[in-house]
A and B are shown apart, each in its own frame.
Chain A
């Protein structure tokens, strides 16, 4: 190590800072610099690959954790109070004791934080020490190192099934085509494979890859968290630039699949990798109840101040009334007595520390504990468990369980949420003629039957499936999956054993989790469907259809014997898979798909290989995708496009005659499909002349290599080519409703929840699904809003509003009013949500039983949720399964993700993740209701408990000259809150059951009725109750002991005992269902009170001056008066309003609901 001046170090640090901040980064290979000291390393400014997600360090844990905890206002308040104890003028009995509760609570929190951080530390260490292979120039080979040793500029080799240690620019793979497959399940949960392609021509890779030969400068953008976007280019020494995008980037955390080895150049490491940048902290949502609770805490503070003020004024008056200087007024150490005014001022603070328990210090901790318990029970509910995917309900947000019981509006996605997202090809329209696929679940199965069908004669149909990413096609020696066995000839069974493990995985995953078509999401897939009419010049055999798929053999070396029956496809979109399977059923089998070619086998057995020239990827603006292929026979350049009907229809070439009628027919068919609830796609074809192709191709290359605005440029080139298309036909694919959806929706509706569906589908499809899932009923009045401009929109809105009002105001319609439903499309929605129409739209929507929003973008979805949430001030829940629902899920009060079908983005963004829509019913109606009532009752009880207890001290002030004396031993007061009465409310909050689950499910109306449990009124009623009980608990013993020889702390003991019994029995009245746990905890609390108090007063002789607990409870317990006073006081305290209220409530319940129902439960 050579010595370097601090200045140089500083300069270097500054340079590093600049290098990191720059928009573009220049990276070079580390190999030439291997072995040099750190200061000479070119990439030294960029962070290494070691990660640290811990919040604390060992040394700084205490100060940092304290700092963190003091961000909570409540903690500061309590510490402030504790410090107040040390101010001499307030005359605290034992200032140190006041610190105990806050210390215990903060220590518990710190312990929890430390444990969590330790877990993070362990997992970090495990990750950082994972082995990986880094190329070493000295050794001339890849050496085993650890993940933490990886630096930017290194060459890393990853084997099949290994996790990628850092973001790698793929340079070489074992695959001859330079592709590599990765699974991103660790990042987004998607189990399908994604294809990555090596950057070509940067290293000498024949026959073996040589990292030393890499001499280019890699220029890449600043790290960002976009997982689907990456821009970089490599500049060779000869200034030639080669562009690369996300398709060449292996992301940290992905797993390499089906590729023996892959070598990449590290561009981002450690915390700069895309996966780490995506790790934002946990979202913190505050529940509605908690917001209300904070208001009530403020009320308590006001109450506390009022009581302190009363105490302070009372003390002033009391002092004023003293005729002389009585012996019980103790001067300060100088023998000087404060003036009454000053004493009264000090007394205010004394009162604060005396009555501070009024603000429940343990409430926040208790709420957290209760929520943990509630989540435990939700997660363990066997009814919310899905056998098939082996998944429980996941609770990601820990602090909003009770909001589940408050939902008023549900916003649901359609595809994959209401429907199964298992696509079945149903019908198609080819050149204006309509064909139906047999109505049978399995297209493959029925297609075999179909072969004999004479319709087949007329159908020389071919689906051309062009998948922008790929279709996984497995050529299987033998099938394993049941689905395949279904249609497999039995003679292939003996081959079963040869089946490789990886194949099994893929097949099962295909069966289980087909990916959903993301027509309206960002990265989608193209399918093309080409009808080849018999009249075409190529002749019946020469079929211009093609399938461009990525053929992926299970074993790399194997030359798969492709028999079409054994094929299994994995597609990114289930629509595409459905189409490929359907095509196969008609004899047109996709045999192979490489990036550059598509192999299709025809019914005649002939194989055609199409050359793929380019693919124009899907984007949400164009809403279509295309592939440019070269026909193997005619050698024509043909562009096939697939997309949403409205995105395709407007691009058709000038229509004349027959074309026009075909288009009209197809449109009619499309409408018809939509009415049946089918998902529609249009397919077109365009022959491109060679000249046209070549000129376009140049533009395309330029666009692809562009560093700036690459997306826009490539999109422009796509739009350039996608003109004058000629329509081939359309398909209709069915997406079946999930099990239990109609039932769930009806139940949710009966519970008073409004259900909205926000979908990207067309209105007809949406309405159809709406009827199918009973969102719309036959007799409903459906208002259809679809307009082109704002003016029309305004007038329609006004009309509808007026009509709706007329309907609801008409007395004749009280019972007969059909429910009103609104169907609105994306364009109209944009206008309706504009600021001037917003009010009217929301007003209209309020009157509607159901709103269906069709053709909405992800952004609109979240906008709808936000507008409704803010304008109507209601609790909203959004449920969805796809990436396009993420915005909406995050905008709603509660976001629910459906796991399974479409990756994990929705689940990652959600607060709760369930596996089926039907689980929503129990989650809301049962768990939501329970969580809410439990927590609400617990919080009310907590306030009651503290007020009831503290008021005893307050009443005593009237008899001690408002001097702030406590008649209860300080320790016992702390124990009272910390041990004797803390567990029962927590148990109450976790386990109480006011209504049984069956009842809640059977009578969904109970959900709405349970929503008002915690409000202003209940809070104040319980406050009054607390006042009443404290009055009784204080004054009955007071009168009984008046003018006797009782001393301060002997007087306090029965009071303490009485309030314990009153408080626990009060809870017992609140508890609706007593289980063993309830009995144990309530009786245990009483037992602990007596044991602890007896032990304490048996041992504490002089330990806690000035209080004098010694032998007091023992003496009291030997006195029959003690029991007599306890019994009568408790009875009077509870017999009062509580009992009558309880009786009333019960009677109310019994009257209103279903007496037989309750009995049966």
Chain B
């Protein structure tokens, strides 16, 4: 380092050594007198004083309280109905199904749950299934998928990623879709019937499209062999996930909702952030402006009970909900805004009083001085 310094001092002082006495022009080392270099850039120095803090508090209060009220009202207008059909209870209609269960049973167990809607649901209704205590966010679980296989990559289809282990191969055949997420896909099915007061049971049409993200369905998930209309051929050489009853190419009859681009599958693959979660199952579209989508009355939910939750003390729910611009029912945010706004406002008032009093005192002190 000093070697370099010495050497460079030769260079820098070269005018002495090379050009001899009197030679060489000295470049002044005087620093530039600029605002930046002299650290004199014009600066704004925010100083927190009563004059700036008080209005800030009031403004926050004035803005937050209306927002909070708006959110709260919106949330309250959302209608939500939830029914737990886990069948833990002996009295529960699904008790039998929940007891006699194995992943591979071929005989479907169906349970029928009646319920009563006290309010008519005017707009489109979203039907969710809810699981609790299901850790879809477990580190190993989240990893256990092969995105390129799901993206339609032929190579990955036949050679799933190592991350899918131990659900990558079954009987020496690659699993499609591989991994623990796909393997544990929720497979209960719901059917909803409206019990007309006149005694007839009307099945309510459930739409199974539009429940996944558009980008997922069209970009992220693709069937292998893009132009191959025959999905069975495209999935040739693969086997179904161990827990599945049908192979992936038989998930739905509609070709644009089959295979990897089946929306139920896509929804499941978007792993939930928290152990208690809901996932969109179906949409009950609004048919006309005259009739509510779900009128008040008795309903019957027919569940084909396939999904075991006892191994993790889980609960299963079916949720019907209307939605607004802010999504589902969520009173918390409104309450939070109202609370924070009120606290700010209150603090503002308190500070104002203190300031007023102290200010007076110090003013009088100044005067007396």
Q: Contacts of B37 on A, CB cut-off 8 Å?
A: 377, 380, 382
Q: Contacts of B219 on A, CB cut-off 8 Å?
A: 1101, 1110-1111
Among candidates A279, A960, A1135, residue contacting B137 with C-beta atoms closer than 8 Å: A960
Q: Contacts of B48 on A, CB cut-off 8 Å?
A: 1142-1143, 1146
Q: Provided the pairs A163-B17, A1075-B42, A1128-B333 are in contact, do residues A963 and B138 lie with their beta carbons within 8 angstroms? A: yes
Contact residues, B143-179 vs A (CB, 8 A): 143-148, 150-151, 161-163, 165-168
Contact residues, B87-101 vs A (CB, 8 A): none
In the complex, whether A275 has a CB less than 8 A from a CB of chain B is: yes
- Distance A1046 CA – B128 CA, assembled complex (angstroms): 13
Q: Contacts of B168 on A, CB cut-off 8 Å?
A: 333
Category for how many chain A residues contact B: 35 or more
In the complex, whether A237 has a CB less than 8 A from a CB of chain B is: no
Question: Do the beta carbons of B276 and A1042 come within 8 Å of each other?
Answer: yes
Question: Do the beta carbons of B137 and A123 come within 8 Å of each other?
Answer: no
B272 to chain A, nearest CB (A): 6
In the complex, whether A1158 has a CB less than 8 A from a CB of chain B is: yes
In the complex, whether B197 has a CB less than 8 A from a CB of chain A is: no
Question: Do the beta carbons of A1051 and B274 come within 8 Å of each other?
Answer: yes
Question: Do the beta carbons of A1044 and B143 come within 8 Å of each other?
Answer: no
Among candidates A162, A324, A385, residue contacting B31 with C-beta atoms closer than 8 Å: A385
Question: Do the beta carbons of B333 and A1121 come within 8 Å of each other?
Answer: yes
B319 to chain A, nearest CB (A): 9
- Distance A465 CA – B10 CA, assembled complex (angstroms): 35
Among candidates B150, B167, B276, residue contacting A1043 with C-beta atoms closer than 8 Å: B276
- Distance A1073 CA – B47 CA, assembled complex (angstroms): 9
Question: Do the beta carbons of A1102 and B165 come within 8 Å of each other?
Answer: no
Q: Contacts of A965 on B, CB cut-off 8 Å?
A: 137-139, 142
- Distance A1073 CA – B42 CA, assembled complex (angstroms): 9
In the complex, whether A51 has a CB less than 8 A from a CB of chain B is: yes
In the complex, whether A656 has a CB less than 8 A from a CB of chain B is: no
Most-contacted residue by chain B among A325, A326, A993 (CB, 10 A): A326
Closest to B38 in A: A382
A548 to chain B, nearest CB (A): 26
Question: Do the beta carbons of A186 and B312 come within 8 Å of each other?
Answer: no
Question: Do the beta carbons of A330 and B213 come within 8 Å of each other?
Answer: no
Q: Contacts of A1046 on B, CB cut-off 8 Å?
A: 272-274, 277
Question: Do the beta carbons of B145 and A1105 come within 8 Å of each other?
Answer: yes
- Distance A907 CA – B167 CA, assembled complex (angstroms): 71
Among candidates A280, A1045, A1124, residue contacting B2 with C-beta atoms closer than 8 Å: A280
In the complex, whether B228 has a CB less than 8 A from a CB of chain A is: no
- Distance A335 CA – B170 CA, assembled complex (angstroms): 12
In the complex, whether A1132 has a CB less than 8 A from a CB of chain B is: yes
Contact residues, B64-111 vs A (CB, 8 A): 64, 67, 71
A287 to chain B, nearest CB (A): 19
In the complex, whether B245 has a CB less than 8 A from a CB of chain A is: no
Question: Do the beta carbons of A1106 and B273 come within 8 Å of each other?
Answer: no
Q: Provided the pairs A185-B16, A328-B136 are in contact, do residues A390 and B26 lie with their beta carbons within 8 angstroms? A: yes
Among candidates A281, A323, A1075, A1158, residue contacting B311 with C-beta atoms closer than 8 Å: A323
B144 to chain A, nearest CB (A): 5
Most-contacted residue by chain B among A127, A1128, A1131 (CB, 10 A): A1128
In the complex, whether A242 has a CB less than 8 A from a CB of chain B is: no
Question: Do the beta carbons of A91 and B143 come within 8 Å of each other?
Answer: yes
- Distance A281 CA – B1 CA, assembled complex (angstroms): 6
Q: Contacts of A280 on B, CB cut-off 8 Å?
A: 2
Question: Do the beta carbons of B344 and A1135 come within 8 Å of each other?
Answer: yes
- Distance A1161 CA – B53 CA, assembled complex (angstroms): 21
A-B contact count (CB 8 A): 308
Q: Contacts of A255 on B, CB cut-off 8 Å?
A: 16-17
Q: Contacts of A997 on B, CB cut-off 8 Å?
A: 39
Binds A, one of B114-122, B231-239, B250-258, B322-330: B322-330
Question: Do the beta carbons of B272 and A329 come within 8 Å of each other?
Answer: no
Among candidates B148, B150, B326, residue contacting A1121 with C-beta atoms closer than 8 Å: B326
Q: Provided the pairs A1076-B41, A1101-B219 are in contact, do residues A963 and B140 lie with their beta carbons within 8 angstroms? A: yes
Contact residues, A335-378 vs B (CB, 8 A): 335, 350, 377
In the complex, whether B6 has a CB less than 8 A from a CB of chain A is: yes
In the complex, whether B3 has a CB less than 8 A from a CB of chain A is: yes
- Distance A501 CA – B144 CA, assembled complex (angstroms): 84
In the complex, whether A1115 has a CB less than 8 A from a CB of chain B is: yes
Question: Do the beta carbons of A960 and B17 come within 8 Å of each other?
Answer: no
In the complex, whether B199 has a CB less than 8 A from a CB of chain A is: no
Binds B, one of A715-723, A757-765, A1033-1041: A1033-1041
Closest to B82 in A: A1043
- Distance A1076 CA – B36 CA, assembled complex (angstroms): 10
Question: Do the beta carbons of B38 and A381 come within 8 Å of each other?
Answer: yes
In the complex, whether A863 has a CB less than 8 A from a CB of chain B is: no
- Distance A659 CA – B134 CA, assembled complex (angstroms): 111
Q: Provided the pairs A163-B10, A1076-B41 are in contact, do residues A1125 and B333 lie with their beta carbons within 8 angstroms? A: yes
Q: Contacts of B166 on A, CB cut-off 8 Å?
A: 330-335
Q: Provided the pairs A93-B143, A161-B20, A963-B135 are in contact, do residues A1073 and B44 lie with their beta carbons within 8 angstroms? A: yes
In the complex, whether B290 has a CB less than 8 A from a CB of chain A is: no
Q: How many residues of B contact A (CB 8 A)?
A: 107
Closest to A1038 in B: B274
Q: Contacts of A1124 on B, CB cut-off 8 Å?
A: 67, 71, 326, 333, 337
Q: Provided the pairs A324-B311, A993-B39, A1042-B276 are in contact, do residues A387 and B165 lie with their beta carbons within 8 angstroms? A: no
- Distance A185 CA – B271 CA, assembled complex (angstroms): 73
In the complex, whether A504 has a CB less than 8 A from a CB of chain B is: yes
Closest to B26 in A: A390
Question: Do the beta carbons of A333 and B165 come within 8 Å of each other?
Answer: yes
Question: Do the beta carbons of B139 and A1102 come within 8 Å of each other?
Answer: no
Among candidates B151, B271, B275, B276, residue contacting A1102 with C-beta atoms closer than 8 Å: B151
Question: Do the beta carbons of A1044 and B7 come within 8 Å of each other?
Answer: no
Question: Do the beta carbons of B33 and A1146 come within 8 Å of each other?
Answer: no
Q: Provided the pairs A91-B140, A965-B139 are in contact, do residues A1075 and B180 lie with their beta carbons within 8 angstroms? A: no
Q: Provided the pairs A1043-B276, A1048-B273, A1131-B340 are in contact, do residues A186 and B6 lie with their beta carbons within 8 angstroms? A: yes
Question: Do the beta carbons of B21 and A282 come within 8 Å of each other?
Answer: no
Q: Contacts of A350 on B, CB cut-off 8 Å?
A: 139
Question: Do the beta carbons of A392 and B21 come within 8 Å of each other?
Answer: no
Question: Do the beta carbons of B13 and A186 come within 8 Å of each other?
Answer: yes
- Distance A1106 CA – B181 CA, assembled complex (angstroms): 11
Closest to B60 in A: A1131
Closest to A1068 in B: B46
- Distance A381 CA – B312 CA, assembled complex (angstroms): 68
In the complex, whether B184 has a CB less than 8 A from a CB of chain A is: yes
Among candidates B1, B145, B312, residue contacting A326 with C-beta atoms closer than 8 Å: B312
Question: Do the beta carbons of A328 and B135 come within 8 Å of each other?
Answer: yes
Residue-wise interface mask of B (296-320) relative to A, using a CB-CB cutoff of 8 A (1 in contact, 0 not): 0000000000000011111000000
Q: Contacts of A93 on B, CB cut-off 8 Å?
A: 143
Q: Provided the pairs A282-B1, A505-B22 are in contact, do residues A392 and B31 lie with their beta carbons within 8 angstroms? A: yes
Q: Contacts of A326 on B, CB cut-off 8 Å?
A: 134-135, 311-312, 314
Among candidates A322, A1043, A1115, A1132, residue contacting B278 with C-beta atoms closer than 8 Å: A1043
Closest to B162 in A: A333
In the complex, whether A1047 has a CB less than 8 A from a CB of chain B is: yes
- Distance A282 CA – B6 CA, assembled complex (angstroms): 12
Contact residues, A1063-1102 vs B (CB, 8 A): 1072-1077, 1101-1102
Closest to A1143 in B: B48
Question: Lowest 3 CB-CB distances: which A-B pairs, in order?
Answer: A501-B22, A53-B3, A324-B311
> What are 30 pairs between A and B in contact, CB < 8 Å?
A53-B7, A123-B10, A126-B7, A185-B13, A185-B16, A186-B17, A275-B6, A278-B2, A279-B2, A280-B2, A282-B2, A327-B183, A385-B29, A385-B31, A505-B22, A963-B137, A997-B39, A1036-B336, A1042-B276, A1043-B276, A1044-B330, A1050-B273, A1077-B41, A1101-B219, A1106-B143, A1120-B326, A1124-B67, A1124-B337, A1125-B333, A1128-B337
Q: Besides A1105-B147, A1132-B340, 18 other CB < 8 A contacts?
A: A123-B4, A186-B10, A275-B6, A276-B3, A279-B6, A323-B310, A324-B312, A326-B135, A391-B29, A504-B21, A505-B21, A1043-B278, A1045-B128, A1048-B142, A1050-B273, A1106-B144, A1120-B325, A1161-B45
